[in-house]
Amino acid sequence: MYAQMVKSEATNDDPEQLAAFQARIDADDKIEPKDWMPAGYRKTLIRQIGQHAHSEIVGQLPEGNWITRAPTLERKAILLAKVQDEAGHGLYLYCAAETLGVTRDELTEMLLDGRMKYSSIFNYPTLSWADIGAVGWLVDGAAIMNQVPLQRTSYGPYSRAMIRICKEESFHQRQGYDIMMKMAQGTEAQKKMAQDAMNRFWYPALMMFGPSDKESVHSAQSMAWKIKINTNDELRQKFVDQTVPQAKYLGLTIPDDTLAWNEEKGGYDFAEPDWSEFFDVLKGNGPCNTDRLNARNKAWDDGAWVREGLLAHAEKKNAVRHAAE
């Protein structure tokens, strides 16, 4: 069903209904699953929530890679808890997407065959333990910057999922920053490793906020429908302004020679990411795109016996119940 919706660009909604809907949005009403909504609102929510959920699940792969390599039992336990949290975040978001009439299997199928995206950041490798610190500090830090406003998104189930998710994200960011503090204040080798992680994750973290506002195809409509509360560039700027002092405290150098405080703007001027790299990664040409999709396809195939067993059990239970009626 969703596949047809993706095709239908037309939003031949009744103008009166559309006006009444926009009045609800402007009054900061929460839109609930059984409420009337424009086809385009439903379609862009399935797109955004579905890709958000995919990001949570695929995001487990780069960190999961280090659970068996964590330097101490304590670090292993912390990382294990964080990666498990991300699975739960994916679950909340798939449940929110299902309220819009798409099934989890449809969403999974579109992830696995490349018709739906996940966040570009997860197509970069985690090469050292310091990368796990940089992921928590920068990636979860960027995710928090983007997700906190989403708690006020106009679609009820998405807003409530975000409120639950945001409660756990600060732990994710703090544990990452704690790793970076240990490394940046450790031996010369550890400091070097932390700076290397900073160098490799800085620009991909800026890309998480999406293309520049002038390139963003969905922002205008998503802002009008209060699906999105801030623009991509607004959140990117907030992230840079928050992160620069944190890097300074660590004694790490942000890999951007143009970075400078702009008194008039009340924020940092900074170099934009390489957008050709961004769009190349979105096209599937990032360092880890193939690995990530292969891992998710393998997990889907390996899990077939569990799904079949559960379905068979449910069908048997239904048959017994019908026979007893």
Give the residues lining the site for ligand 3HC (CB under 6 A). 47-48, 51-52, 55-56, 59, 86, 89, 117, 119-120, 139-140, 143, 146, 207-211, 216-219, 222, 228, 232, 282
Q: 40 or 190: whose CB is closer to ligand 3HC?
A: 40
CB 242 within 8 A of CB 141: yes
* Shortest Cβ 259–ligand 3HC spacing (Å): 21
* Shortest Cβ 254–ligand 3HC spacing (Å): 19
Q: 190 or 216: whose CB is closer to ligand 3HC?
A: 216
* Shortest Cβ 64–ligand 3HC spacing (Å): 12
- Distance in angstroms (rounded) separating the CA atoms of residues 218 and 47: 11
Q: What are phi and psi of 31, to 5 degrees?
A: -90, 130
Q: 215 or 315: whose CB is closer to ligand 3HC?
A: 215
Q: 118 or 268: whose CB is closer to ligand 3HC?
A: 118
51: nearest Cα among 99, 101, 120: 120
Q: 216 or 253: whose CB is closer to ligand 3HC?
A: 216
* Shortest Cβ 142–ligand 3HC spacing (Å): 7
**Residue burial 70-87, b: 16+ Cβ < 10 Å; e: rest:** beeeebeebbeebbebbe
CB 299 within 8 A of CB 291: no
* Shortest Cβ 229–ligand 3HC spacing (Å): 9
* Shortest Cβ 158–ligand 3HC spacing (Å): 9
* Shortest Cβ 126–ligand 3HC spacing (Å): 12
CB 247 within 8 A of CB 198: yes
CA dist 290 to 11, 284, 298, Å? 35, 7, 12
Q: 55 or 126: whose CB is closer to ligand 3HC?
A: 55
Q: 191 or 223: whose CB is closer to ligand 3HC?
A: 223
- Distance in angstroms (rounded) separating the CA atoms of residues 126 and 302: 24
With tokens 């900073």, the residue in question is 198
